[in-house]
């Protein structure tokens, strides 16, 4: 073996993988070739640890227009000749090193995946995880990431319409930054990412190439963090959103007005020219030859290795037809974008890299796109049995005087109120207005329901249709039971779009885990994916795109297992949309799904348990059959005009969800005559799944009850909208103004340290 061992290690390749490369090539690879293998066989590009699990996810359906992983993003037919294109990806490690640029370029990359397919980006969503805000560095990361997302998205003129933010100690040194983009296109104008037609020119369009981002795919995305990770700052890309705006408009014009000029368009993301050329050639069954001497550069002295692996932003490959080469170049010139012919499509099935007259790499496409796959054996962590069997009943209930020191109240009613206010003011559950007010969520004038609700709703102009969008995931649930946690992530995302009045259609996912080579982490991955697969099958929501982010560890400690689900729902009539806030006095308020008398097991993984008792324990559960019945009742009730509001009951439990319904428009709830036979904490703050708070006019009461009966879905009358207090029986009574104050001031106060 002649290769430098340090280079093999730097590229996150194993010695066995290196020997396999030698065997497949029939020779030793040179430095450029080894760098290309390191990128394409990285987890980020090759999915070598996750592909066997990803095959478990359902990915087909009558509305699905793309093969999973077959294009830059997934596409879903929504009727009227239109489709939604969507994808979610991570930029975790770059954001941990340089939060603003890491998050900004994460947005830039996911947006390029969408307009590379000829779709107009119409929405951005995010899913963010940080360590506790009491720590100064976590506040720095939080502010930088939020600023980067807003800064890039706002400059592009794309609204950021929904998302989520969560906090846990495990994310302190390794925040999770997942960005999702959604685009709209005519089905007939979808643009493939194919290098078609041997002899056709390959154009590199957009920014000049620099040294930023080199090694992002394999150095950042396939390595755990330690104290030396700050030295990786040069591997974080630097973005220019104004240039990307020009690139976006030019590519959309090309797709919409001149699709016959090209065979395909491909984004340059992770691994830069290497992955973009290889993937585009593979899709078309062709080869490609690239001359790196023709690549425009913004730095002196760059060698072929650096040019092929640079992840400089705002760049696209365009595969023009020979007869339209000049037409394509004139189009980009009109948008003040540079375009250079850097190569040609070939028919030999190989990627050839040249530097002028010198040959620097020659690798069969099929070898680069078929990394080894590792089907590992997961082992249930030793700590899990103890956590799952923890006797939650041994904890004092809110009725017990032992809770007085924890909550500072002598009466049970006072303790319930104190617990509710404490939860509402926690960074985890508090209003995230501080975040989304930094995002332009109304630009393009499609936003019918914006941030802060269960799901965003966007109009599809020129039709009566609308789409609902959300991101969801709960690392605590997956930590305590990976299978249930994965299923709940899908179920809650579906429940959220249903509460907006939309039929769930499809999923894009981002799987954030630690080092898959560890048996306990692989156990988490496999369990979560199997749970997601079961839920996706139950709700008929195939997974059409996504991303896997592994090695999210610092000094050997992994983040919570955090699968994030981006869900798309369709409203045939956007005017039938629903929101979460109570709308008018006198409406009946119902709990659709499991009733008030929740078992103590409902406290498993709950925010109440973590915030009040400082405990993470129990075993979350979900009944997918009940979940489906509850969602069908809610969906049909909204379509039938029976409901005035609908709100998912999730983190924080029933009391928090009711408070959010009241806070939205300042309307209270009279909940009289209610009793709780079991524990107050489980009833009010337990996180039993498959529950929706719904309000309807009294005259619709009979129809709603009949609908719930037909679907065998439990329905409990909680009270009536009105007044200035949230009141439930004789165990809870709090002014809505106090609830709103705690809820809206919680995050700003946490950011003060």
Give tens-digit pLDDT for 85-137: 999 999 999 999 999 999 999 999 999 999 999 999 999 999 999 999 999 99
CA-to-CA dists, residue 621 to 114, 141, 202, 556, 618, angstroms: 36, 33, 52, 29, 10
Assigned token pair, 584: 């008018």
Rounded Cα distance between 188 and 166, Å, is 40
Number of domains in the chain: 2
Rounded Cα distance between 88 and 117, Å, is 15
Q: Is 486 inside any structural domain?
A: no
Contact 268, 321 (CB under 8 A): no
Contact 683, 654 (CB under 8 A): yes
Fill in the DSSP letter of residue 64.
B
CA-to-CA dists, residue 131 to 79, 175, 176, 471, angstroms: 42, 7, 10, 19
> Is pLDDT above 50 for 663?
yes
> Is pLDDT above 80 for 55?
yes
| Same domain, yes or no: 141 and 258 | yes
> Of all helices (H) and strands (E), which one includes residue 590?
strand 588-593
| Same domain, yes or no: 292 and 402 | no
Q: Which residues pair with 88 in a beta bridge?
A: 180
Fill in the DSSP letter of residue 550.
-
Mean pLDDT of 38-56: 93
**What pLDDT is recorded for position 214?**
83
> Of all helices (H) and strands (E), which one includes residue 448?
strand 447-449
| Same domain, yes or no: 208 and 244 | yes
Mean pLDDT of 215-227: 57
Can you give the residue range of the structural domain that contains 101? 55-368
CATH number at 180 reads 3.90.650.10
Return the exposure string of 405-420: e unless at least 16 CB atoms fall within 10 Å of the residue's CB, then b. Answer: ebbebeebbebbbbbb
> Is pLDDT above 90 for 676?
no
Q: Is 749 inside any structural domain?
A: yes
| Same domain, yes or no: 315 and 414 | no
**What pLDDT is recorded for position 224?**
62
Residues 6+ away with beta carbon under 8 Å from 415: 398, 403, 404, 407, 409
Q: Where are the alpha helices (DSSP H) in 262-347?
A: 272-284, 304-309, 325-334
Summarised one tens digit per residue, pLDDT across range 698-725 is 999 999 999 999 999 999 999 999 999 9
What DSSP letter does each residue of 49-61 carry, written as one string? TTHHHHTTS----
Fill in the DSSP letter of residue 208.
P
Mean pLDDT of 265-288: 95
Residue whose entry in the numeric block shows the structure tokens 């104008």:
189
CA-to-CA dists, residue 381 to 385, 522, 742, angstroms: 8, 10, 38
**What pLDDT is recorded for position 401?**
86
> Is pLDDT above 70 for 3?
no
Contact 241, 112 (CB under 8 A): no
| Same domain, yes or no: 361 and 416 | no
Summarised one tens digit per residue, pLDDT across range 478-520 is 999 999 999 999 999 999 999 999 999 999 999 999 999 999 9
Q: Is 508 inside any structural domain?
A: no
Of the candidates 320, 351, 368, which is a domain's last residue? 368
Please give the mean pLDDT across all residues of the chain.
Answer: 94
Of the candidates 353, 368, 383, which is a domain's last residue? 368
Could you tell me the end-to-end alpha-carbon distance of the chain, in angstroms, rounded to an integer?
54
Q: Is 322 inside any structural domain?
A: yes
Q: Is 130 inside any structural domain?
A: yes
> Is pLDDT above 70 for 228?
no
Q: Enumerate the active-site residues.
A: 44, 91
Rounded Cα distance between 565 and 471, Å, is 5
């Amino acid at each position: 073996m002649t290769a430098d061992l340090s280079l093999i290690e730097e590229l996150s390749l194993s010695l066995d993988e290196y020997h396999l490369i030698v065997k497949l090539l029939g020779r030793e690879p040179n430095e450029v070739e080894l760098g290309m293998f390191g990128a394409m066989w990285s987890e980020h590009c090759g999915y070598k640890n996750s592909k066997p699990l990803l095959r478990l996810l359902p990915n087909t359906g009558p509305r699905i227009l793309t093969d999973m992983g077959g294009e830059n993003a997934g596409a879903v037919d929504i009727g009227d000749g239109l489709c939604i294109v969507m994808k979610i990806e991570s930029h975790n490690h770059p954001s941990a090193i340089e939060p603003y640029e890491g998050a900004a370029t994460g947005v830039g990359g996911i947006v390029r995946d969408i307009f590379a397919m000829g779709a107009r980006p119409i929405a951005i969503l995010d899913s963010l995880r940080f360590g506790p805000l009491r720590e100064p560095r976590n506040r720095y990361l939080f502010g930088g990431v939020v600023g980067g997302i807003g800064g890039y998205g706002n400059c592009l003129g794309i609204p950021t319409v929904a998302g989520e933010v969560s906090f846990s100690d495990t994310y302190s040194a390794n925040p999770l930054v997942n960005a999702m983009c959604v685009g709209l296109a005519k089905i007939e104008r979808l643009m493939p990412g194919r290098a078609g037609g041997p002899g056709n020119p390959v154009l590199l369009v957009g920014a000049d190439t620099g040294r930023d981002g080199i090694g992002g795919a394999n150095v950042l995305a396939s390595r755990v963090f330690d104290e030396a990770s700050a030295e990786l700052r040069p591997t974080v890309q630097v973005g220019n959103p104004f240039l990307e705006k020009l690139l976006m408009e030019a590519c959309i014009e090309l797709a919409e007005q001149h699709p016959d000029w090209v065979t395909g368009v491909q984004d340059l993301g992770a691994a830069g020219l290497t992955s973009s050329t290889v993937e585009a050639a593979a899709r078309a069954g062709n080869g490609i030859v690239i001359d790196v001497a023709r690549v425009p550069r913004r730095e002196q002295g760059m060698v072929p290795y650096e040019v092929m692996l640079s992840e400089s932003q705002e760049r696209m490959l365009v595969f023009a037809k020979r007869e339209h080469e000049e037409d394509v170049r004139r189009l980009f010139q009109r948008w003040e974008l540079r375009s250079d012919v850097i190569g040609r499509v070939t028919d030999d099935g190989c990627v050839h890299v040249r530097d002028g007259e010198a040959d620097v790499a020659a690798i069969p496409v099929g070898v680069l796109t078929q990394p080894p796959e590792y089907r590992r054996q997961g082992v249930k962590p030793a700590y899990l049995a103890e956590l799952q069997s923890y006797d939650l009943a041994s904890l004092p209930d809110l009725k017990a005087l032992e809770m007085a020191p924890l909550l500072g109240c002598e009466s049970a009613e006072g303790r319930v109120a104190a617990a509710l206010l404490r939860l509402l003011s926690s960074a985890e559950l508090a209003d995230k207005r501080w975040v989304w007010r930094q995002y332009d969520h109304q630009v393009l004038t499609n936003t019918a329901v914006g941030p802060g609700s269960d799901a965003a709703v966007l109009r599809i102009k020129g039709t009566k249709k609308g789409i609902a969008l959300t991101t969801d995931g709960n690392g605590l649930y997956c930590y305590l039971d990976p299978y249930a946690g994965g299923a709940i992530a899908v179920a809650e995302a579906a429940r959220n779009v249903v509460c907006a009045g939309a039929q769930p259609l499809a999923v894009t996912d981002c799987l954030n885990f630690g080092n898959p080579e560890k048996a306990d982490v692989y156990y988490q991955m496999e369990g979560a994916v199997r749970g997601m697969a079961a839920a996706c099958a139950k709700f008929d929501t195939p997974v059409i795109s996504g991303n896997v982010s592994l090695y999210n560890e610092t000094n050997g400690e992994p983040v919570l297992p955090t699968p994030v689900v981006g869900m798309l729902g369709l409203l045939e009539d956007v005017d039938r949309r629903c929101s979460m806030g109570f709308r008018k006095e006198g409406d009946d308020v119902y709990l659709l799904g499991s009733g008030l008398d929740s078992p103590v097991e409902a406290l498993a993984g709950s925010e109440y348990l973590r915030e009040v008792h400082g405990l993470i324990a129990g075993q979350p559960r979900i009944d997918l059959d009940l979940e489906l019945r509850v969602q069908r009742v809610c969906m049909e009730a909204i379509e039938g005009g029976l409901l005035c509001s609908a709100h998912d009951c999730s983190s924080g439990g029933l009391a928090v969800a009711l408070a959010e319904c009241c806070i939205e428009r300042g309307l209270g709830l009279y909940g009289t005559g209610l009793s709780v036979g079991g524990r107050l904490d489980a009833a009010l703050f337990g996180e039993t799944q498959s529950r929706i708070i719904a309000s309807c006019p009294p005259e619709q009461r009979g129809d709603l009850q009949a609908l719930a009966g037909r679907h065998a879905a439990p329905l409990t009358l909680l009270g009536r909208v009105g007044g200035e207090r949230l009141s439930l029986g004789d165990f809870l009574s709090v002014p809505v103004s106090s609830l709103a104050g705690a809820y809206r001031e919680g995050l700003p106060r946490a950011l003060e340290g």
